[in-house]
Amino acid sequence: MTTYQTAIFREGTAHQIFLEFTAREAVTSLPDEAPADSAVDGGEQLVAFGGGLLRGLEALETPPDTVDFTPIEGAEGFRAPATQRDLFVWLHGEKRDELFARALEWRDSLYPVADLTHEDHGFRFRDSRDLTGFVDGSANPKGDAQQAAALIQTGEHAGGSFVLAQRWVHNLSGFSKLSMADQERVIGRTKSDSIELEGDAMPPDSHVSRTDLKRDGNAVKIYRRSSPVGTSSDAGLYFLAFSADQQRFRWLLDSMFGLTGDGLHDHLLHFSRPVTGSFFYAPPRDALLRAFDLR
């Protein structure tokens, strides 16, 4: 029976590690020493593949229309760089030491074929807030709708999920200089209790307005699993999201960066900027194990 990777849906964990690897050359198989089938003490792990690596692996089929992340040149000079990596590992749980030990295992086991080229360590900030002080992920689907948003539902790739990973750096000092009311207008929600603004109180360029989309009358839903990351000098967000359809990510990014033809862009871009960008595919668990020759 095909099953999804359970790390996608376990919420509320205190610690996160995000690892992005780049293959040194074309790879057709992956080291079976990698801990792809090993439980994480007190935590979860997810493994996903960039399109280039995925197309080279003999054990896996690439989902149709899988694309790499490409740079976005948006309105008023706002841009999102592309740093497409080949393999992504997300570790999260309650025991930071165990997550760190697993990260070392992944680094060492993949070293014959790939280098660790980006790493971030995330943490739960207060009551699951972003470093701006706003609750993160308020609009996430609930219950069964989570799987409908995040997982491919039918066909040979059922249980798989497309992944968007971006590291953002916040201008926290600039944002903090805004009045509370202006901060709420940038985000589109109240800061204390995360209630969505309504009517004329909701600016059309708020973050909520630019990411609450419909296509052909249907809501564009993704499942966000972002985390605060960084040091005091580069504090920000590791934006991590899952979708049953990779195209949804591009619709949301185009709306944020002012590429939809309505003359608007996300006001949050004045206070936060992406410095990395990759698309990945997280296969269902049985396919993941085949990729590492464990089935």
Classify 142 as helix, strand or coil: coil
Query: Could you tell me the pLDDT band of residue 185, with boundaries at 50, 70 and 90?
Result: very high
Question: Which of the following is catalytic: 86, 120, 130, 136?
Answer: 136
Query: Among 273, 243, 261, 282, which residue's Cα sits nearest to residue 60?
Result: 282
- Residues recorded for the chain: 295
Spatial separation of the C-alpha atoms in residues 267 and 260, rounded to whole Å: 15
124 half-sphere exposure, CB direction, 13 A CA radius: 13
Alpha helices in 111-232 (DSSP H): 144-150, 172-176, 180-187, 207-211
State mean pLDDT over 175-181. Answer: 98
What values do phi and psi take at 257, rounded to 5? Answer: -95, 15
State mean pLDDT over 225-234. Answer: 97
Task: State pLDDT tens for residues 140-156.
Answer: 999 999 999 999 999 99
User: Contact at 8 Å (CB) between 102 and 90?
Assistant: no
Helix (H) or strand (E) holding 147: helix 144-150
Classify 282 as helix, strand or coil: strand
Residue 127's identity, in one-letter code, is D
> Does the active-site annotation cover 144?
no
Encoded tokens for 199: 């009517």
Residue 69's identity, in one-letter code, is F
Task: State pLDDT tens for residues 235-294.
Answer: 999 999 999 999 999 999 999 999 999 999 999 999 999 999 999 999 999 999 999 998
Q: Decide: pTM greater than 0.95.
A: yes
Task: Give me the percent of the chain exceeding a pLDDT of 70.
Answer: 99
State yes or no: pLDDT of 2 exceeds 70.
no
Report the pLDDT value the prediction gives residue 26, as an integer from 0 to 100.
93
Beta-carbon count within 10 A of 116 CB: 18
Contacting residues for 24 by C-beta, under 8 A, at least 6 apart:
113, 114, 115
Residue 43's identity, in one-letter code, is G
Task: State pLDDT tens for residues 61-83.
Answer: 999 989 999 999 999 999 999 99
Spatial separation of the C-alpha atoms in residues 237 and 253, rounded to whole Å: 16
